[in-house]
Structure 1
Amino acid sequence: MLLAISGGPDSLALLLLAHQARPGQVVAATVDHKLRPESAQEAEFVSDLCRDNNMPHMILRPAQPISGNIQSAARAARYALLEQAAQDHACAFIATAHHGDDQLETLLMRLARGSGVDGMAAIRAKNGRIIRPMLGFSKAELEEICAAAGIEPVRDPSNDNPDFDRVAMRQWIAQATHPFQIERTNRTASALADAADALSWMTAVLAAERTTQVDSAITCDANALPRELQRRLLLHCISQLEPSLHPKGEAVDRLLVELEAGKTAMIGNILCRGGTRWTLTPAPPRRDGG
């Protein structure tokens, strides 16, 4: 099992517990995104800690500088590096230190954004080879584990920056009197994940029965289906023609309205014709207006 260890209290608690539960069966990895001057020293701190406890450790750094949407790009680079490291070291799983407070923050953030079933499934306990064994723990419990071991964790200043949505939500939760409990929050997220999996399974069955592709044209019969299944079939057809296109919920909802009205509309580079059956084709090349 590969452990993703940043040096913060959450991941250090994961490191300590995993080493105790599975001695000799874990490998630790720290991703240094090189976004802060202190990051190299923090990675070395984890490396020293692992060496002192006879645990193998590696420091992973992205080949290209992180740019654009920093949080999103850093996350993509982090998981790509962890996946490659797990493959190189024959690790069946990659464990991250997401905990119960993270789950609550994610659920409330998704709710605020108007997410559907997939988004409200929040942080899954298992997603491919990624596992999250700490979801049943609170942040305070993980801090206590580090304190009991006499370890002072790394503190990332970005975790206190309210310009980030998650930090703003975390601070709001800390200031509010609320009834949320970790066990119940995880139960809700798990139920929604099960519902999302069921809908994905049903969509695959319907796609086989109700869609036909000839060359680059897809015909879809979504007539009389529940709206969520119509929406998922539409997304399936879009992904078949343009895999890199990931339209947001509002754009898909608008397109559904157009198709149900028998109109023709565009999404990405796909021309969509509505009616009782939908037809999706790549849009014809644009003429040069010159």
Structure 2
Amino acid sequence: MTLPRTIVPVSDDEAIARIERDVALLWPKAARTGPLGLAVSGGPDSLALLLLAHAALPGEIAVASVDHGLREEAASEVALVGEICAALDVPFTPLKVEISQGNLQARAREARYQALGEWAEKRELGALATAHHADDQAETLLMRLSRGSGLAGLAGVRASSHVPGHEDVLLIRPLLGWRKAELQEIVASAGITPALDPSNQDPSFDRVRVREHLAEHQWLDPKQLAQSASNLGEAWLALQWFAEIDWEDMVHRDPNGQMTITYYANVPRAIAVETIMRIVGELGGMVSRAEAGRAFDRLWQGENASLGGVLAIPGIEKLDKIGVDMRAWRFSPEPPRAVH
């Protein structure tokens, strides 16, 4: 990435109005308590977010750039983002993280959001924005379809959520309706040559292969795929809403203080799976949706289920406030196994 002598700010009124609308939908003006933080890597997508936000929210943004220490070029890319911010008179903070052992991409993501969350809290930012766009969303949807993901996975990247580990920090992704080519054009028009991550060209990564497939098959419209993911996201929010009602109405703790929870199961499987996961968590265990789904199937057939250190025993019981017999599944910590 090279820094031009003069950065040409975004002047397209339509683009500025568009990003203003996209940000306002996720972060209403009446709810704003501080500047908008931007995570900018130096790639074309995040630089476009910076340029758009600079034009739409002058004096109301701050930028951070994370060096994961995984590539030699990373430090110089962070420095150049800082130079661009200086040229635009935007507050800038470089962040350096260390990646722990394990899945490299997952650990890098965890470390990045941890650092960004801490930065947002320290700066008292109103929200944090990342540059995920429609092509990212389409790729994510196709990858998860190929893996047989459930509704939670097919919902893709959420337009609005919270920074993992920093639940008080709103996380927004205002570019999910924008195509990558549009963002590249914005950066090119500013006279900036963005950084290019070589991993984005490495076919050993699933995302790169999916990207190549989309490029080869024009009938697959990334923007429409992204819209489908958005629709699935709305369905997922509706399911979570009903799961909360199920928890409040149909989950009962033992009145004598025992570590036993009774669940009156009377909802579709997808909702019951969320409730089962929450019950196991309340009893000190941890379980995936796939495991909770298998437990549901066993319990529905009248069989005991063991999951996450919790034993579930099915039965039938009359629920007083309804006055009808219902499935009553009792969950309690599994007893210690005998050692011979």
Q: Secondary structure of the residue that 1:221 maps to in structure 2? A: strand
Deviates more, 1:252-261 or 1:95-104: 252-261
CA–CA distance in structure 1, aligned partners of residues 339 and 94 of structure 2? 50
Matched, 1:136 2:136: no
What runs of 5+ residues in structure 1 fail to find an aligned partner? Answer: none
**Are residues 1:68 and 2:109 paired?**
no
Task: Give the structure 2 partner of residue 111 of structure 1.
Answer: 145
Q: Runs of 5+ in structure 2 lacking a partner?
A: 1-35, 163-169, 316-326
* Counterpart for residue 62 of structure 2: 27
SS of 2:212's equivalent?
helix
CA apart distance, 1:122: 1.0
| Aligned counterparts, 1:1-290, within 5 A | 1-62=36-97, 64-128=98-162, 129-182=170-223, 184-214=224-254, 215-223=258-266, 225-242=267-284, 245-249=286-290, 251-275=291-315, 276-289=327-340
**Contact preservation (8 Å) 1:272, 1:281:** yes
In structure 2, how many angstroms separate the alpha carbons of the residues matched to 1:66 and 1:155?
24
Is the 1:9–1:146 contact (alpha carbons within 8 Å) kept by the matching residues of 2? yes
What is the CA distance between 1:279 and its match in structure 2?
1.3
Q: Letter of the aligned partner of 1:12 in structure 2?
A: L
Q: Name the amino acid aligned to 1:115.
A: S
Counting matched residue pairs gives 284
- Taking the aligned partners of 1:165 and 1:213, their CA distance within structure 2 comes to 44
In the alignment, the residues of structure 2 paired with residue 229 and residue 259 of structure 1 have an alpha-carbon distance, to the nearest angstrom, of: 15
**Contact kept? 1:259, 1:274, Cα under 8 Å:** yes
Which amino acid is 2:125 matched to? C
8 A contact 2:287–2:307 mirrored in 1? no
Give, in angstroms, the shift of residue 176 of structure 1.
2.2
Runs of 4+ that moved beyond 4 A:
none
Distance 2:42 2:284 in 1: 39
What fraction of aligned residue pairs are identical, expressed as a percent?
Answer: 42
Q: Is the 8 A contact 1:35 1:66 kept in 2?
A: no
SS of the residue aligned with 1:201? helix
Question: Does the 8 Å contact 2:85/2:92 carry over to 1?
Answer: yes
C-alpha offsets along residues 62-91 of structure 1, whole Å, 9 cap, x if unaligned?
Answer: 2x4332001111111111111111111111
Q: Is the contact between residue 287 and residue 308 of structure 2 (CA under 8 Å) also seen in structure 1?
A: no
Q: Per-residue deviation at 1:181?
A: 4.6
Matched residues in 2 for 1:160 and 1:284: separation? 51
Q: Which has the greater radius of gyration?
A: 2
Cα distance change of structure 1 residues 117 and 138 upon mapping to structure 2, 3 Å threshold: same
Counterparts of 1:73 and 1:208, CA distance in 2 = 35
Matched position secondary structure for 1:279: strand
Residues 51 and 107 of structure 1: is their aligned pair in 2 closer, same or farther, counting only changes over 3 Å?
same
- Scaled by the length of structure 2, what TM-score is found? 0.79
* SS, match of residue 194 in structure 2: coil
